[in-house]
Amino acid sequence: MKVVLENLTKRFPGRSKKDEAVTAVDHFSFEIPDGQLIGLLGPSGCGKSTTLNLISGLETPTEGKIFFGDEDVTDLPPEARGVGLVFQNYALYPHLTVEENIIFPLENLKGAKKLTKEAMHEKAMEAARLVQIDTLMERKPKELSGGQQQRVAIARALVKIPRVLLLDEPLSNLDARLRLQTREELRRIQRETGVTTIFVTHDQEEAMSISDLIIVMKSGKVHQIGKPQDVYDEPANLFVAQFLGTPQINVFDGAIRNGKVWIGKEAVLDAAGKADRDVWVGIRPEGFIPDPEGPFTCKMDRVEVMGRDVSVISTHEKMTGKCIRSIVSSENRFAPDQKEVRFRLKPYKVFLFDKESEERV
């Protein structure tokens, strides 16, 4: 089921009359193709959970429309939309067993859709097998591990075969190892069911690793939509460039003058055909190549050896962060007392952003 959001806006009233209304989601428009896994990515407080709640129907939009396929569901209550929702804390009913939890949505069906006890049990088992918890059906949620609880929550969301599956920070309550595992698991479940899935996360690595498409949000606005690699390689603005990638992109205060990119007194790169202006220069950590003849000189701070590659930590007077982190091949050798390090830059790893609008130049 494709999901279309048109000019979706949600304003929350201020706490008192004096406070201004808060716009959590601001004229959000995008189309999610059928059967894809979408990562809704942004820093906390950027409105991504509100967006999810709007799609689920738990919140009603102030403006705009939501379509599932060709059907306008904007005014439909949550239960009529056919969405499955997995909460950050899973919201499993603690007094019910795993099976009772999974069956709960089925028991709410009325009229022609009503199922017999056996049919419900069969469907619950099917959902449980999909997430591999079919041996735990008699347990209570508190007798399960975090990862198992999450599987139950997913099974409960899937048992009705939703048109859209929504996951709110699905991995944030899991420990690091389980997070990796569950990530793969989510991908597998989504592939097997083919349900259009939207998940919210503030962890860019999580979003990049399993999504077909990522949507980067900030302050209620969409900043960029695209395939993870495309967004990483071609960030639309400074925020997106900074938000994606670990270690973070290095940003310098620079300028374009006479077809060259200048950082401080050095022309580090060609910028043929671009008008003169002040810019932010973003360089990905992997965009540096150590070269004694290179045009870009930084003050050497230290080298962190990671085995496969090496992190060179250096500083520069025009940098905006605390230090410059560049990741280079471990074949490079650095002298222990080296005061300076010179780099060549990979042009496709360097992005220029307008000083004022912070949009890509």
**Residues of this chain that bind another protein (CB under 8 A):** 56-58, 77-80, 83-85, 87, 89, 91, 93-96, 104-105, 107-109, 142, 156, 160
Compute the half-sphere exposure of residue 102: CA atoms within 13 Å on the CB side of its CA: 31
C-alpha–C-alpha distance, residues 64 and 201, integer Å: 23
Question: 153 and 87 in contact (C-beta within 8 Å)?
Answer: yes
> 3-class secondary structure for 180-236?
HHHHHHHHHHHHHHCCEEEEEECCHHHHHHHCCEEEEEECCEEEEEECHHHHHHCCC
Comparison of 21 and 109: residue with beta carbon closer to another protein: 109
CB 165 → another protein: shortest distance, Å?
Answer: 11
C-alpha–C-alpha distance, residues 328 and 294, integer Å: 14
C-alpha–C-alpha distance, residues 286 and 56, integer Å: 40
Q: Which of 307, 287, 303, 306 is nearest to 335 (CA)?
A: 303
- Bridge partners (DSSP) of residue 319 are 252
CB 88 → another protein: shortest distance, Å?
Answer: 8
The pair of three-digit structure tokens given for residue 87, joined into one six-digit string: 């909460």
CB 258 → another protein: shortest distance, Å?
Answer: 59
Q: Which of 299, 303, 283 is nearest to 344 (CA)?
A: 283
Comparison of 167 and 281: residue with beta carbon closer to another protein: 167
CB 326 → another protein: shortest distance, Å?
Answer: 43
CB 121 → another protein: shortest distance, Å?
Answer: 17
Comparison of 83 and 300: residue with beta carbon closer to another protein: 83
CB 48 → another protein: shortest distance, Å?
Answer: 16
Cβ density class 130-160: b for 16+ within 10 Å, e for less: bbebbebbeebbeebeebbbbbbbbbbbbbb
Comparison of 84 and 220: residue with beta carbon closer to another protein: 84
Residue showing tokens 């990119």: 261
CB 52 → another protein: shortest distance, Å?
Answer: 11
Comparison of 97 and 311: residue with beta carbon closer to another protein: 97
Helix (H, G, I), strand (E, B), or coil: what is residue 95? coil
Question: 158 and 130 in contact (C-beta within 8 Å)?
Answer: yes
CB 147 → another protein: shortest distance, Å?
Answer: 19
Comparison of 123 and 156: residue with beta carbon closer to another protein: 156
Comparison of 110 and 308: residue with beta carbon closer to another protein: 110
Query: At residue 29, what are phi and psi to the nearest 5 degrees?
Result: -135, 125
C-alpha–C-alpha distance, residues 29 and 27, integer Å: 6
Comparison of 158 and 300: residue with beta carbon closer to another protein: 158
Comparison of 84 and 290: residue with beta carbon closer to another protein: 84
CB 14 → another protein: shortest distance, Å?
Answer: 15
CB 104 → another protein: shortest distance, Å?
Answer: 6
Question: 39 and 213 in contact (C-beta within 8 Å)?
Answer: yes
Comparison of 103 and 268: residue with beta carbon closer to another protein: 103
